[in-house]
Amino acid sequence: MAGYSCLVTGAGGFLGKKIIHLLLQEKEVKEIRALYRVFTPENKQKLSELQMETKVTVCEGDVRDSQFLRRACQGVSVVIHTASVIDVVGAVPRQTILDTNVKGTEHLLHACIQASVPVFIYTSSTAVAGPNSYKEIIQDAHEGQNHESTWSDPYPYSKKLAEKAVLKANGSMLRNGGTLHTCALRLPFIYGEGSQLMSRVFNSALQNNGILKTMGKFSLASTVYVDNAAWAHILATRALKDPKNAENIRGKFYYITDDTPPQSYDSFYYAISNEWGFCVDSSPSIPLFLLYSLAFLMEMVSFLLKPVYNYQPPFNRFVLTITQSVFTVSCKKAQQDLGYKPLFSWEEARQKTAQWIGSLVQQYRGTLKSKTQ
């Protein structure tokens, strides 16, 4: 497989872009196919600028299009599948999420079999494992434990089904008589410079005198810096390509985190932004059981109004649970089987992220200044 080609889905996304940059440093990679539904002109320009010794090919299309996927997979040796719809508030129709996250993954697996692609890495989520209740305390969850999400909400449900399809496909016979080898990487909340979610959080706080809205005062959660999450995909690719190591990881999933200390989401956001004057909302919090009851009522109202009006509650029980629970994971198994070691320490990741947050602050101040002139 010397001089192999790699297809990365979700290539225009937060994680996908980082994976492509790391793949460019892999000497054995001769071509990277960057697959994304719709690239912006800026993204296309940046991809074209990456053309060096490694060829970068733009593949613009939808993972729900099986014919497109078959063409994209021709001549490819590795698929890294990061593409998915991430929505936990009901902004995207349920069927769209299921079609993209589940059927899209199944279409891609079938395309790999038809095109004889031997290696498939799937970007999964810790949401497939839980938490199922804010009253439940799970610390250092590992692969040997039977943690599984019971939520019917489309995002965790679709990721769980997609991961199962990927792991079940391991060992499938390829069209050329070879064998498909798969694994899945379960990622917690991914942070770092360029995160659209974090951009919204901090821009909202800037409009609120620097006060960060409560994200989870009672939580204890694992997180992972985006470069470290991308690096885990590179190591998984190397391991599945290596006959000596592949046997240990075929058909398995791995939790991926890093040196970022488990902490509440409020503490985390404060730690990466306090040098820019951001602070956590100190107003009294509504008891969790009341918020949970309110979330249930709003979900019922949304369900009853659905035939005539698409009401999106500001929060729901799933969001409350994942942001208010004690749920941490261990990456010891990934260290053992994949040789995983984070590229960046917590302090390095914090500094890089804080520097980016500073650019958001400067941009916001510049916008205000231009409006007053």
**Dist CA 213 CA 66 (whole Å):** 42
Tell me whether residue 159 is one of the annotated catalytic residues. yes
Whether 123 contacts 82, CB under 8 Å: yes
Q: Around 371, how many Cα atoms within 13 Å sit in the side-chain half-sphere? A: 6
Helix, strand, coil distribution of the chain in percent, nearest 5: 45, 20, 35
Please answer whether residues 176 and 161 qualify as being in contact, where contact means their C-beta atoms are separated by less than 8 angstroms. Answer: no
The residues with which 16 forms a beta bridge, in sequence order, are none
The phi and psi torsions of 295 (rounded to 5 degrees) equal -60, -40
Q: How would DSSP label each residue in 151-220?
A: --SHHHHHHHHHHHHHHHHTTPBPTTS-B-EEEEEEE-EEESTT-HHHHHHHHHHHTTTTEEPPS-TT-E
Burial class (CB in 10 A: 0-12, 13-18, 19+), 42: exposed
Measured in residues, the chain has a length of 373
Closest C-alpha among 79, 129, 73, 82 to residue 101 = 82
Residue type, 184: A
> Distance between CA atoms of 295 and 315, rounded to whole angstroms?
6
Q: Which of 17, 18, 103, 159 is catalytic?
A: 159
Catalytic residue positions, numbered: 159
